[in-house]
Amino acid sequence: MLSREFLKAGHAPTLFAAFLYFDLSFMVWVILGPLGVAIAKDFNLDPAQKGLMVAVPVLAGAVLRLVNGVLVDRIGPKKTGIIGQLIVLAGLVTAWAVGLHNYQQILALGLVLGVAGASFAVALPLASRWYPQEHQGLALGIAGAGNSGTALAALFAPALAKTFGWQNVIGLAAIPLAFAFVAYLVLAKDAPEQPAPKKLAEYLDVLKVPDAWWLMLLYGVTFGGFVGLASSLTMYFNSEYGLDPVIAGFFTAACVFAGSFIRPVGGALADRYGGVRTLGVVYVLAAIGLTVAGFQLPSAGLALAVLLFAMLALGAGNGAVFQLAPQRFRNEIGVMTGLIGMTGGIGGFYLASTLGLAKKMTGSYQSGFIGFALLAVFALIALFSLKARWRAVWPTLHGDAAPVRV
């Protein structure tokens, strides 16, 4: 995938900095999920409260992505990233130093962690603006592979909580984040060509374009499924199969790594075969995987295999959506990244919260999986109703750009 032409096309240090910033920000964004078993035990939380606890950072991150998207277009991605990282570092250190003593304070921390989730709307434009249209899928796939940070949280947080206590894990999380901040300061660089600032109201003009809403919907399913599962699977495996939180974290990490590192593959496939065709396959596979997960599978190993399959599909879809977005909204990619990312986060909030509600109301998570599988089917139907118009119109929008597959 990493051809000589790709390596010469952009700015590799910025691409790496975008990935690292995104990766470790996502690690802390979802950290309440892997710590959820320990937190729930201390505060005696019911399944719905646990679902809300992991959903609040996801929703906060979704809303703040729009804010970051506008800031990226006004002051540039590098400055926006610096501000966000400082806020998160201050929040983590304060929470660790003062302590978290009740459920309301946990939810307040979740709001601060949402700033880390909003890093998506910074890292992707930071990388995107360095690369030509024909390499957008791969470049944004590499930057977007920072989704893997959610796996780092699942892999290490439960074991560290057993050793040091979950409150101390909040403080420990600030250490790698600080190293990533230094690397970002040194390596990240804004692309030479930045769009001219607009009035604040003008940034939302893209919402008058139906294609913006459709791209938001498509990403709401792929990324929403990915982050909703990443936030919830540790508690799912612990509750449904009685796995120790550390082992449940390992299972979750496997699913998240699979979904994260296939994202560049999804972007590269979209560059080669077209984003619409790639997404069509993605939604079929995701719907199958989530539907099967919606039945009470007899063993944790079988559940892991099915959820790995679903996460691979969703991860590839994340890369494919962002092969399409710069084709339609090249000059508005900052705010569009924020808007698309916002709906992705809302999709994650929906899945994480409904899984918790399903468990409380029915005693099982299964109906939550079925509901999200139906959303994937709806996205598939919408995609195929749009593809003919997109293929006819989009290649004519930017006459100076090399033609790419829609």
Within a domain: residue 403?
no
Within a domain: residue 404?
no
Within a domain: residue 405?
no
The pLDDT score that the predictor gives to residue 345 is: 81
**Cβ atoms within 10 A of the Cβ of 196, count?**
7
Q: Which residues contact 282 (CB under 8 A, 6 or more apart)?
A: 222, 266, 313, 314, 316, 317, 320
Within a domain: residue 165?
yes
The pLDDT score that the predictor gives to residue 90 is: 95
Q: What's the CA dihedral at 233, 235, 236, 240 to 10 degrees?
A: 150
Q: What is the DSSP letter of 148?
A: G
Q: Which residues contact 21 (CB under 8 A, 6 or more apart)?
A: 81, 85, 119, 122, 123, 146, 180, 181, 183, 184, 188
The pLDDT score that the predictor gives to residue 2 is: 53
The pLDDT score that the predictor gives to residue 164 is: 93
Within a domain: residue 34?
yes
The span from the CA of 209 to the CA of 406, in Å, is 18
Sequence letter at residue 208: K
Instruction: Give average pLDDT by consecutive 10-residue segment, the chain, 406 residues.
Output: 61 86 91 89 87 86 85 88 95 92 92 91 83 71 76 87 92 95 93 72 83 92 88 86 89 87 85 89 94 90 94 91 84 79 84 82 85 92 92 76 62
The span from the CA of 10 to the CA of 58, in Å, is 31
Residue pair 314/305 in contact by the 8 Å Cβ criterion: no
Within a domain: residue 127?
yes
The string of DSSP codes covering 51-68 is: HHHHHHHHHHHHHHHHHH
- State how many domains the chain has: 1
The span from the CA of 13 to the CA of 25, in Å, is 18
The span from the CA of 344 to the CA of 300, in Å, is 28
The pLDDT score that the predictor gives to residue 207 is: 87
The span from the CA of 70 to the CA of 63, in Å, is 12
The pLDDT score that the predictor gives to residue 3 is: 56
> What six digits make up the tokens of 20?
């690292």
Residue pair 245/38 in contact by the 8 Å Cβ criterion: yes
Within a domain: residue 402?
no
The pLDDT score that the predictor gives to residue 139 is: 76
The pLDDT score that the predictor gives to residue 112 is: 94
Per the structure, the complete domain to which residue 256 belongs is given by 4-397
Residue pair 325/336 in contact by the 8 Å Cβ criterion: yes
Residue pair 106/32 in contact by the 8 Å Cβ criterion: yes
Task: Supply the CATH number for residue 120's domain.
Answer: 1.20.1250.20
Within a domain: residue 213?
yes
Residue pair 261/279 in contact by the 8 Å Cβ criterion: no
The single residue listed with the structure tokens 């930057």 is 143
